[in-house]
Amino acid sequence: MPSDEKLATIASLLTRMRLRRSKFLPATLFAEPSWDMLLELFISQVRETRVATTSLCIAANVPQATALRHIAQLEEHGLLSRFPAPEDKRLKLVRITATGYGQMRKCLGELVKKSGFPVPV
């Protein structure tokens, strides 16, 4: 299994690939907001960065109402959690849960193992 940092790099590559794809094909044909959010949260966990709810909505590349519905569903499934920022209770932060992190780690690891997806150096 590749290191978490290498898996985060793969997640970043997948995110960039999806963004580039929208230059050639309508993004609405491929909307996967939950997947995009989980990729973003996995990367942020590995790289120890904070993610605000509004930033996660933007990363999902769908209307805010749609993104918020997906956040609620991911939270219901125990894959992410929301909490107030310590310095400003009005700001809501989002993080991947241990369960979500473990599942994403397995999913990305399987991508490498079974499909031959190249591991970054």
pLDDT score, position 120: 74
Distance CA 72, CA 33 (A): 12
The structure's pTM equals 0.87
Least Cα distance to 6 among 59, 46, 44 occurs for 46
For 97, the enclosing helix (H) or strand (E) is none
pLDDT for 31: 75
Q: Give all domains of the chain, ordered by start, each with its CATH number.
A: 4-115 (1.10.10.10)
pLDDT on residue 17: 86
Mean pLDDT of the chain: 90
Using 70 as the pLDDT threshold, list the residues of the chain that sit under it. Answer: 121
Buried b (16+ CB within 10 A) or exposed e, 81-118: eeeeeeeeeeeebbbbbeebbebbbeebbebbeeeeee
pLDDT at 108: 92
Q: What is the pLDDT of residue 82?
A: 95
